[in-house]
Amino acid sequence: MGKLPEINFKSGIYLYVGRARQGLQGRLKRHMRKEKKLFWHIDYFLQKAEIEEVWIKRDFFDECRTAYEVMNLLKDLLFPLKKFGSSDCRCTSHLFYLLQSKGDLEPLRKKLSFEKVDIHGNQG
């Protein structure tokens, strides 16, 4: 994964913080595809992982602040993967392993003021 050392990912739940200054829908569609040129750290991760949920905050581009808030709000429940997705900033990481089962992440989503995007095409 670029200059990162090889990582053996444990099975479980991971939270990733990213951004798209332009073309949010295109970026999300790209991440959902398995067949793509591997460019970002998350591209490599998604070769084996499955996206379960996508949360967005429209017109908000400070992924570093969001990563910091996630770390503070779930500090005892997360393990950051050093420099994953954050090689161009000073953040510890933008990918976090949840140390316990998923449970209910809805309070975190609401506290961060993110909206959930339906990635499976469900109606209703």
Q: Tokens in use for 86?
A: 């954050």
Place 123 in a pLDDT band, splitting at 50, 70 and 90: very low
Question: Exposed, middle or buried: residue 111 (CB in 10 Å: 0-12, 13-18, 19+)?
Answer: exposed
| Residue 8 falls inside a structural domain | no
67 pLDDT higher than 70 = yes
What's this model's pTM, rounded to 2 decimal places?
A: 0.82
Range of the domain at 71: 15-117
Residue 22 lies in a domain: yes
How many domains are there within the chain?
Answer: 1
How far apart CA 64 and CA 86 sit, in angstroms, is 8
pLDDT digits (tens, 9 = 90+) for 8-32: 788 888 899 988 878 888 888 888 8
By DSSP bridging, strand 115-117 and strand 54-56 are antiparallel
Residue 40 domain-assigned (yes or no): yes
Q: Has residue 29 been placed in a domain? A: yes
In a domain, 56, yes or no: yes
Give the tokens for residue 122.
């469900």
